[in-house]
């Protein structure tokens, strides 16, 4: 079989950001202010600092306002809750994102529940999770949304496809399964306790791998012609270097079997922030009644 088509997440995210920039300019003209995204970073986690910087840059490039709040790693729960309450009340803030993971000493669940669901651009609040499950309009988690947009870039209708999601996290596995169900897929959620995982994955016309284990999904697990969306970003050691990034799928093996596959990096990763910008603009529109 011919090599799989590469799904270019970078290019698709760029096109999406251009679209959003148009919408953001129209919003700013009508509202008399740009859409605003507040990002809260607690502590000094280096990966989180990189993400937050990238989010801020892309927010501004899309014509929106970025507000960053940094708290020390030993910040008290009460300080963080007070900041969220202030951002909830601030009319010029349309989206609030608290970068995860939070330091161990903080209760992330309580922080997420404190965010106004109308400003919850991560889509992690139980109200948005519940709305997604019941099919009501909601803010949808960014990475899952990116996965579905990438799958639809090669197959505009996903109706009737057997989809297997590997991973059951609240951030990716569970919400991506809900989105695929809404696209009329037949959805299986597999996880670390699933029996005969390779055989389960072999049934899939569409595989979403979101387990955080480098190259766990092997080429001989993939049904010929399947669409493979790899959410994993794992740094693995490499002689003499600072390591290389690999996904949850053994890419070289899988690309000779799959019909289409996302690379790592350059697949799902770039879509996440683009979807965050989309959610921010959507939240701004809904809150203000400006379409
Ligand atoms: N940390 C890693 N990914 C995410 C994300 O999508 N949202 C937030 N808030 N934190 C993250």
pLDDT digits (tens, 9 = 90+) for 243-259: 999 999 999 999 999 99
The mean pLDDT of 178-196, rounded to a whole number, is: 98
Candidate list 58, 94, 99, 230, residue with the active-site label: 99
Residue-wise pLDDT tens digits, 158-172: 999 999 999 999 999
CA-nearest residue, atom 9 of ligand 1: 99
Cα(165) to ligand 1 centroid in Å equals: 19
Residue 58 has pLDDT above 80, yes or no: yes
Q: pTM score, two decimals? A: 0.97
Q: Which two structure tokens, joined as six digits, stand for 2?
A: 């011919």
pLDDT band at 1 (very low <50, low <70, confident <90, very high): low
Cα(13) to ligand 1 centroid in Å equals: 17
pLDDT band at 290 (very low <50, low <70, confident <90, very high): very high
The mean pLDDT of 89-112, rounded to a whole number, is: 98
- Looking at residue 107, its pLDDT comes to 98
Residues in the chain: 291
- Looking at residue 291, its pLDDT comes to 77
122 is catalytic: yes
Q: Find out whether the beta carbon of 100 lies less than 6 Å from any atom of ligand 1.
A: yes
Cα(238) to ligand 1 centroid in Å equals: 26
Query: How far is residue 82's CA from residue 225's CA, in Å, rounded to a whole number?
Result: 51
- Looking at residue 241, its pLDDT comes to 78
Q: Find out whether the beta carbon of 142 lies less than 6 Å from any atom of ligand 1.
A: yes
The mean pLDDT of 133-145, rounded to a whole number, is: 97
The mean pLDDT of 269-286, rounded to a whole number, is: 98
Query: How far is residue 223's CA from residue 217's CA, in Å, rounded to a whole number?
Result: 12
Q: Find out whether the beta carbon of 97 lies less than 6 Å from any atom of ligand 1.
A: yes
pLDDT band at 51 (very low <50, low <70, confident <90, very high): very high
Output b/e per residue, 231-256; b: 16+ Cβ within 10 A: bbbbeeeeeeeeeeebbbbbbebbbe
Q: Residue 103: which of 55, 41, 49, 52 has the closest Cα?
A: 41
Query: Quick check: 210 and 242 in contact, CB under 8 A?
Result: no
- Looking at residue 239, its pLDDT comes to 79
Q: Which two structure tokens, joined as six digits, stand for 158?
A: 């996903």
The mean pLDDT of 68-86, rounded to a whole number, is: 98
- Alpha-carbon Rg of the chain, whole angstroms? 19
The mean pLDDT of 74-86, rounded to a whole number, is: 98
Candidate list 94, 116, 120, 122, residue with the active-site label: 122
Query: Quick check: 174 and 189 in contact, CB under 8 A?
Result: yes
- Looking at residue 113, its pLDDT comes to 98
pLDDT band at 29 (very low <50, low <70, confident <90, very high): very high
Q: What is the mean pLDDT of the chain?
A: 97
55 is catalytic: yes
For the CA of 48, the closest atom of ligand 1 is 1
Query: How far is residue 116's CA from residue 124's CA, in Å, rounded to a whole number?
Result: 11
Q: Find out whether the beta carbon of 108 lies less than 6 Å from any atom of ligand 1.
A: no
The mean pLDDT of 101-112, rounded to a whole number, is: 97
- Eight-state DSSP code of residue 4: P
79 is catalytic: no
Greatest Cα pair distance in the chain: 58
Q: Is 19 left (phi over 0), alpha (psi -120 to 50) or beta?
A: alpha
The mean pLDDT of 7-33, rounded to a whole number, is: 98
Q: Find out whether the beta carbon of 120 lies less than 6 Å from any atom of ligand 1.
A: no
Provide the CA 229 distance to its chain's centre, in angstroms. Answer: 12
Residue-wise pLDDT tens digits, 200-238: 999 999 999 999 999 999 999 999 999 999 999 999 998
Q: Find out whether the beta carbon of 279 lies less than 6 Å from any atom of ligand 1.
A: no
The mean pLDDT of 188-204, rounded to a whole number, is: 97
């Amino acid at each position: 079989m011919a090599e799989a088509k590469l799904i270019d997440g970078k290019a698709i995210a760029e096109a999406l950001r251009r679209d959003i920039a148009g919408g953001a300019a129209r919003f700013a003209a009508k509202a008399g202010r740009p859409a605003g995204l507040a990002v809260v970073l607690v502590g000094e986690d280096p990966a989180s600092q990189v993400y937050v910087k990238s989010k801020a840059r892309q927010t501004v490039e899309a014509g929106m306002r970025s507000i960053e709040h940094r708290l020390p790693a030993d910040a008290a729960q009460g300080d963080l809750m007070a900041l969220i309450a202030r951002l909830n009340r601030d009319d010029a803030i349309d989206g609030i994102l608290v970068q995860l993971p939070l330091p161990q000493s903080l209760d992330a669940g309580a922080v997420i529940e404190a965010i106004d669901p109308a400003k919850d651009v991560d889509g992690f609040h139980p109200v948005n999770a519940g709305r997604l499950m019941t099919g009501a309009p909601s803010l949808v988690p960014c990475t899952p949304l990116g996965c579905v947009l990438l799958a639809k870039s090669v197959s505009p209708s996903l109706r009737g496809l057997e989809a297997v999601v590997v991973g059951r996290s609240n951030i990716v596995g569970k919400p991506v399964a809900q989105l695929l169900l809404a696209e009329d897929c037949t959805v299986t959620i597999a996880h670390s306790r699933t029996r005969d995982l390779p055989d389960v994955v072999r049934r899939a016309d569409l595989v979403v791998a979101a387990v955080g284990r480098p190259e766990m999904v092997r080429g001989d697990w993939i049904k010929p012609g399947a669409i493979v969306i790899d959410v994993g970003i794992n740094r693995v050691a490499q002689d003499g270097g600072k390591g290389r990034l690999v996904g949850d799928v053994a890419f070289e093996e899988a690309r000779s079997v799959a019909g289409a596959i996302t690379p790592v990096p350059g697949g799902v990763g770039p879509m996440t922030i683009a979807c965050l910008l989309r959610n921010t603009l959507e939240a701004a529109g809904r809150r203000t009644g400006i379409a």
